[in-house]
């Protein structure tokens, strides 16, 4: 192909450099695709509304290798028309996946993603139609202008874009590039509002490159080098880093969920163990008279443990009257002086969230105060749009260490392993159902206010 060029000619070496650049970019995108495939396998079963890079990167690697393939045909080979159409098709497909990933990254609604699909599938339809006509009629009649040869002084452009396309195809191409530029610019504008420097730089380069491409196809700017396959490389790399972070966060959430489950299930089981130990140690006649009370308490604790396991096994919310949920927990702790004031009007609530919340709060009161725990008061008030549950114990609020950190995951004023989970999990459960919890003083005592 380069027989007419002298080896010392700069045009020769610029083409060699361009070919190696396309090959290197293709190999890099392929490595991203392989990594993305492993990430897909690791993150299997996670939400589909997330960044996925394997297919996007693979499509872009095909684009790079098709750019490289043009160097293996004679300059004015008819087969370059087919290669260009395939290149355009794969380029459109990779753009759709790329825009979808950016859309998830910037948390767009589904509307823009539908628009991206309309743009890309329209472009792919036009391209595939021309591919079919290429096989039926040949490249000249389906795609090319009457003056076939693209007159240019750039050897790179002569090899990559050797022919002029038909006026119909050129009009479509120009309109498509304008729409692509507007979409890129919208993403760049969103990136400017973030602290993601890599995304700002990458999208800024992409916007500049698409405008550079637009200048050639629309304004006939002749000093164009087709670097469209290269300028998105920063965002592709950044998006794969986002995908890795997503999987890391998924594993972190899973670990926290498992720790929360172990903590929640240990509460009723620990209570069961305490009551059984009391039965075994105390064999007096008086104690045997109270055996029914202990058995009933053990039954309620075991029932609550089963309810907690069912909560983690199924996602459906289980509603019940709030007094029923609270009374089940009060029965469990019948050896604690608990004063429950029910609401004037009964309301249905998420049964397991209320049970789990109260079990955690009562257990914390017992562990923190020990024999100094004189009483616990639970009061519920309801209105047309809100339920207010007030939990107060006999402990002094002033004795509560660092109340501002009470709901922080991992923080605990108590010693030992598996601490700092209870109140954090309570807060997460309440917020998940649209409620809120706060800690503060009620007169001089410690008070938790829960709003549902």
Averages of pLDDT over each 10 residues, the chain, 452 residues: 54 80 92 90 69 91 91 83 90 93 90 94 92 80 69 71 76 87 93 90 88 73 71 88 86 73 66 64 55 62 63 61 86 83 85 85 84 88 86 85 74 52 80 88 88 90
- Beta pairing, strands 338-341 & 376-382: parallel
Q: What is the pLDDT, as a whole number, of residue 172?
A: 85
Distances (CA, A) of 278 to 271, 272, 290, 335, 369: 11, 10, 11, 12, 20
Q: What CATH number should be reported for the domain holding residue 347?
A: 3.30.565.10
* Angle made by CA atoms 403, 400, 390, in degrees to the nearest 5: 75
* Alpha-carbon gap, residue 297 to 295, rounded angstroms: 5
Domain shared by 153 and 209, yes or no: yes
**Does some domain include residue 262?**
yes
Q: Do 319 and 429 fall within a single domain?
A: yes
Q: Residue 9: what pLDDT?
A: 62
Domain end call among 231, 265, 290: 231
- Identify whether 2 is part of a domain: no
**Residue 1 belongs to some domain of the structure:** no
Domain range enclosing 400? 252-451
**In a domain? residue 325:** yes
- Give the pLDDT score at 30: 94
Tokens, residue 308? 């907690």
Instruction: Give the per-residue pLDDT at 317.
Output: 59
By C-alpha distance, which of 358, 271, 373 is closest to 323? 358
Q: How many CB atoms are located within 10 Å of the residue 326 CB?
A: 20
**CA 221/CA 139 separation, integer angstroms:** 25
Q: Is residue 243 part of a domain?
A: no
Same domain, 226 and 281: no
Whether residues 35 and 140 fall in one domain: yes
Q: Which of 231, 264, 295 is the last residue of a domain?
A: 231
In sequence order, the 6+-apart residues with CB closer than 8 A to the CB of 55 are 33, 36, 97
Helices (H) and strands (E) in the chain, counts: 14, 9
DSSP category for residue 447: E
Helix (H) or strand (E) holding 388: strand 387-396
Residue 240 lies in a domain: no
- In this prediction, residue 277 carries a pLDDT of 63
- Tokens 């080979």 correspond to 77
What are the CA-CA distances from residue 354 to residues 41, 212, 255, 450 (Å)?
37, 61, 23, 10
Beta bridge partners of 348: 321
Distances (CA, A) of 3 to 30, 71, 72, 152: 32, 13, 13, 18
Q: Identify whether residues 215 and 265 lie together within a single domain.
A: no
Report the C-alpha gap between 435 and 388 in whole angstroms. 10
388, 380 contact by CB (below 8 A): yes
Q: Which of 55, 68, 56 is nearest to 23 (CA)?
A: 68
Are 227 and 272 within one domain? no
C-beta of residue 202 within 8 angstroms of C-beta of residue 239:
no
Pairwise CA distance, residues 104 & 242, whole Å? 11
H-run or E-run covering 420: none
By residue count, the chain amounts to 452
35, 156: one domain: yes
Whether residue 182 sits in one domain with residue 258? no
Q: Where are the alpha helices (DSSP H) in 282-401?
A: 285-289, 291-313, 322-332, 351-369
- Closest of 252, 256, 245, 198 to residue 39, by C-alpha: 245
DSSP string, 250-262: HHHHHHHHHHHHH
Q: Are residues 313 and 402 located together in one domain of the fold?
A: yes
In this structure, the answer to whether residues 222 and 282 fall within a common structural domain is: no
Sheet with strand 445-451: strands edge to edge: 338-341, 376-382, 387-396, 445-451, 436-442
Element (H, E) at 204: helix 197-217
Query: What's the pTM?
Result: 0.63
Could you tell me which residues are beta bridge partners of residue 338? 376
Output the six-digit token pair for 443: 């007169």
Q: Is residue 244 part of a domain?
A: no
Alpha-carbon span 22 to 66, nearest angstrom: 9
CA–CA gap between residue 413 and residue 223 (Å, rounded)? 69
Spatial contact of 182 and 42, defined as CB atoms under 8 Å apart: no
Q: What is the pLDDT of residue 147?
A: 67
Q: For strands 163-165 and 319-321, give the pairing.
A: unpaired
In this structure, are 180 and 63 located in the same domain?
Answer: yes
Looking at the structure, tell me whether residues 196 and 110 fall in a common domain. Answer: yes
Say how many domains are in the chain.
Answer: 2
From 182, 202, 231, the end of a domain falls on 231
Asked if the structure places residue 187 within a domain, the reply is yes
């Amino acid at each position: 192909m380069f027989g007419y060029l002298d080896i010392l000619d700069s045009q020769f070496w610029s083409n060699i450099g361009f070919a190696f650049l396309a090959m290197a970019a293709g190999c890099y995108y392929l490595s991203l695709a392989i990594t993305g495939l492993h990430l897909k396998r690791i993150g299997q079963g996670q939400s589909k509304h997330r960044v996925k890079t394997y297919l996007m990167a693979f499509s872009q690697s095909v684009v790079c290798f098709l750019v490289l393939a043009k160097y293996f045909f004679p300059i004015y080979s008819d087969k370059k028309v087919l290669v260009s159409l395939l290149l355009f098709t794969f380029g459109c497909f990779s753009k759709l996946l790329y825009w979808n990933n950016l859309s998830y990254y910037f948390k767009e609604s589904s509307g823009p993603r539908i628009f991206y699909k309309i743009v890309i599938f329209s472009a792919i339809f036009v391209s595939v139609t021309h591919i079919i006509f290429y096989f039926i009629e040949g490249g000249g009649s389906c795609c090319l202008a009457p003056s076939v040869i693209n007159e240019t002084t750039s050897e790179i452009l002569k090899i990559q874009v050797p022919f002029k396309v038909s006026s119909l195809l050129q009009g479509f191409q120009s309109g498509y590039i304008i729409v692509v530029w507007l979409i890129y610019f919208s993403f760049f504008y969103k990136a400017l509002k973030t602290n993601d420097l890599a995304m700002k730089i990458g999208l800024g380069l992409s916007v500049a490159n698409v405008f550079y491409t637009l200048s050639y196809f629309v304004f006939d700017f002749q000093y164009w080098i087709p670097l469209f396959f290269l300028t998105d490389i920063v965002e592709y790399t950044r998006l794969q880093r986002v995908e890795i972070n997503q999987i890391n966060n998924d594993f972190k959430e899973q670990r926290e969920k498992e720790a929360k489950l172990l903590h929640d299930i240990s509460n009723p089981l620990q209570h069961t163990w305490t009551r059984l130990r009391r039965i075994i140690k105390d064999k007096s006649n008086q104690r045997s008279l109270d055996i029914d009370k202990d058995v009933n308490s053990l039954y309620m604790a075991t029932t609550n443990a089963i309810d907690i396991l069912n909560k983690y096994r199924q996602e459906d919310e289980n509603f019940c009257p709030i007094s029923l949920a609270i009374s089940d927990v009060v029965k469990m702790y019948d050896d604690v002086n608990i004063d429950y004031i029910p609401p004037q009007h009964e309301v249905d609530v998420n049964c397991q969230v209320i049970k789990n919340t109260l079990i955690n709060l009562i257990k914390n009161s017992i562990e923190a105060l020990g024999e100094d725990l004189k009483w616990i008061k639970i009061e519920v008030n309801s209105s047309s749009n809100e339920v207010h549950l007030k939990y107060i114990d006999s402990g002094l609020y002033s004795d509560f260490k660092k109340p501002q950190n009470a709901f922080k995951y991992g923080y605990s004023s108590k010693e030992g392993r598996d601490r700092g989970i209870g109140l954090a999990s309570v807060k997460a459960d309440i917020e998940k159902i649209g409620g809120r919890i706060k800690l503060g003083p009620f007169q001089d005592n410690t008070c938790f206010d829960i709003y549902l």
